[in-house]
């Protein structure tokens, strides 16, 4: 087991590799390998274990009413899978989880993980942080989905990233990632960003974006 890899995960934040090895010596865990394209979990299946991508990338995806597969998000190495659904009344996977590449999955069954949390307060705090950060991410995403137009979604994203004072931001997401985040096609993101530039509202240089007209950008969030 590569405890250096594990020590980089959010669940083990604050522990060095030797400490992680010592902690896990008393916890039953296993590592399972998946080939790219393999299904890790189907939507509706019960979440019975704490799951974390050890190496590789997984993805969450769903199928719409027409049969089209929609990618919800990528789940990189060190990220937990469906951690917020491990406990609670409806502890099932909300979407299908598929291996986007060859990957290894770190697994601790729920009863063992619960004892693990009870025995290590710092691990418990880390787990609560994971759930809280996930809830905040989903809350922000719901806000964006409430905007009817792509311009409104992008305007809110730029304003939120800039805060009340800054005019310049570095885009943390590519156009492809923005499209996936908003649930729209990538060409639509490129087209709308081009329109915002043509209208003199923003200007972009690579990953850098400058807000030229904050009021017009704000007005777009009200449409």
pLDDT at 144: 66
Domain carrying residue 41: 3-139
Q: Model-level pTM?
A: 0.71
- Mean pLDDT of all residues in the chain? 89
Whole-angstrom distance, CA of residue 130 vs CA of residue 13:
11
95 and 121 belong to one structural domain:
yes
Could you tell me what percentage of the chain is helix, strand and coil, using 3-state DSSP and rounding each to the nearest 5?
45, 25, 35
Q: Does 133 share its domain with 43?
A: yes
Same domain (yes/no): 7, 73: yes
Residue 54 in 3-state DSSP?
strand
Q: What was the pLDDT predicted at 85? A: 92
CATH code of residue 212: 1.10.10.10
pLDDT digits (tens, 9 = 90+) for 22-72: 999 999 999 999 999 999 999 999 999 999 999 999 998 887 677 777 777
Taking 70 as the pLDDT cut, the residues of the chain under it are 64, 141, 143-146
38 and 118 inside one domain: yes
| CATH at residue 40 | 2.60.120.10
Measured between alpha carbons, how far is 32 from 49 in angstroms, rounded to an integer?
13
Handedness of CA 142, 74, 11, 83 (dihedral sign): positive
Confidence at residue 2, expressed as pLDDT on a 0 to 100 scale: 87
pLDDT at 145: 66
CA distance 69 to 92: 20
Three-state SS at 66: coil
Which has the closest alpha carbon to 165: 216, 220, 211?
211
- State the total domains in the chain: 2
pLDDT of residue 72: 76
């Amino acid at each position: 087991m590569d405890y250096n890899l594990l020590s980089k995960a959010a669940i083990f934040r604050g522990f060095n590799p030797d400490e992680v090895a010592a902690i896990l010596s008393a916890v039953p865990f296993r590592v399972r390998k998946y080939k790219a394209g393999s299904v890790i979990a189907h939507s509706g299946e019960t979440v019975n274990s704490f799951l974390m991508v050890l190496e590789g990338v997984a993805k969450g995806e769903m199928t719409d009413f027409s049969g089209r597969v929609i990618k919800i998000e990528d789940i990189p190495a060190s990220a937990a899978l469906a951690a917020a659904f491990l406990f609670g009344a409806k502890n099932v996977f909300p979407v299908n989880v598929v291996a986007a590449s060859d990957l290894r999955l770190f697994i601790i069954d729920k009863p063992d993980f619960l004892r693990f949390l009870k025995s290590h307060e710092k691990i418990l705090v880390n787990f609560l942080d994971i759930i809280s950060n996930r809830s905040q991410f989903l809350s922000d995403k719901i806000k964006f989905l409430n905007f009817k137009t792509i311009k409104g979604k992008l305007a809110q994203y730029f304003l939120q990233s800039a805060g009340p004072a800054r005019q310049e931001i570095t885009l943390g997401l590519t156009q492809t990632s923005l499209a996936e985040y908003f649930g729209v096609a990538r060409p639509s993101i490129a087209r709308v960003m081009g329109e915002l530039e043509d209208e003199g509202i923003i200007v972009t240089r690579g990953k850098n974006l400058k807000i030229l007209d904050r009021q017009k950008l704000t007005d777009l969030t009200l449409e």
